[in-house]
Structure 1
């Protein structure tokens, strides 16, 4: 494992797992903001992404509300690239793009603003589980005629069904839930 990711891996191994209507959901600062996200973990996320993704020609980072925001913010500060947040509420701007999101544990509408046609963007999110959020945001980026350079998630749940994701996704760590505990795969 990349040594810069050890603070993240260590904190994941201690994360509690709860049942959300039959779905084993782990609770962690990266994915829920509970417990608070330690600065060393956010630094590991920013360092891990910058080591894996070519950001040289990227115009904007795009992060979905709510849990992509702090990872996008850490990366924006590290890279000096502006960030657009995909919100769960409409502002009614003329170029706003609305899309429907369905995940393993809920659904909602998402609204993209601040991304222009031709912008080269990297989508940053917390976890790839069902793939519903990533697919919805990618649909919005296509509707905005932005160029998707890369998709990066902090965590990929390898025990979840994310076959609906038709795009390549880079992850910092692959994890699964087994016997009520989070396992970090090497």
Structure 2
């Protein structure tokens, strides 16, 4: 079993309003993110994604940044962070992010028609964040070469399921009786 799967099986689980939520260094920044785990994830993304045919990596703030930075450093592919702050730069595109627990406006800068992009996110749960980003990239005219989520939570609604683009996940999990289980 790889570090990522092992770390998910050992991660703390908290209950909030009847919902069991795992707390993991990749998705939450706590407990401590060990370099070996991040390195494993970066290598697995590079092996899983079509990084040789992309011009830019696109990731949402905040928890995709550390993962995508590692991939960018290892591949020399520039990184674009989708931010929750408007800058007003030329070509800035806004999008509405709606997840199972929040709603916010986000902004993409420096992605242009014809750019070939790899989208990386930490967790695919409801698909709301990725769906909004993919929709905005489509409206820009970017070519989405690949989409990778480190962790995919199964068992809930996934807005990406109805999209033409597919998401590659490194590991699929579900909560069973208040514990994380790996889904094969």
TM-score tier after normalising by the smaller chain length: over 0.9
**TM-score, L = length of structure 1:** 0.93
| Mapping for residues 23-102 of structure 1, pairs under 5 Å | 23-102=19-98
Would the aligned equivalents of 1:93 and 1:113 in 2 still touch at CA under 8 Å?
Answer: yes
Residues 1:154 and 2:150 aligned together:
yes
- Secondary structure (helix, strand or coil) at the match of 2:37 reads helix
Structure 2 counterpart of 1:110, from 106, 113, 118? 106
Residues 1:183 and 2:181 aligned together:
yes
Distance 2:99 2:132 in 1: 10
Would the aligned equivalents of 1:60 and 1:81 in 2 still touch at CA under 8 Å?
Answer: yes
Distance 1:76 1:48 in 2: 13
Shift in Å, 1:20: 3.9
**Partner in structure 1 of residue 9 of structure 2:** 13
Distance 2:81 2:171 in 1: 23
Distance 2:56 2:160 in 1: 25
- Number of aligned positions between the proteins: 182
Distance 1:171 1:183 in 2: 15
Unaligned runs of 5+ in 1: none
Shift in Å, 1:164: 4.9
Would the aligned equivalents of 1:118 and 1:146 in 2 still touch at CA under 8 Å?
Answer: yes
Shift in Å, 1:160: 2.1
Deviations 1:51-73 (A, max 9, x none): 11121110000010011111111
Shift in Å, 1:179: 1.1
Residues 1:171 and 2:169 aligned together:
yes
- Secondary structure (helix, strand or coil) at the match of 1:56 reads helix
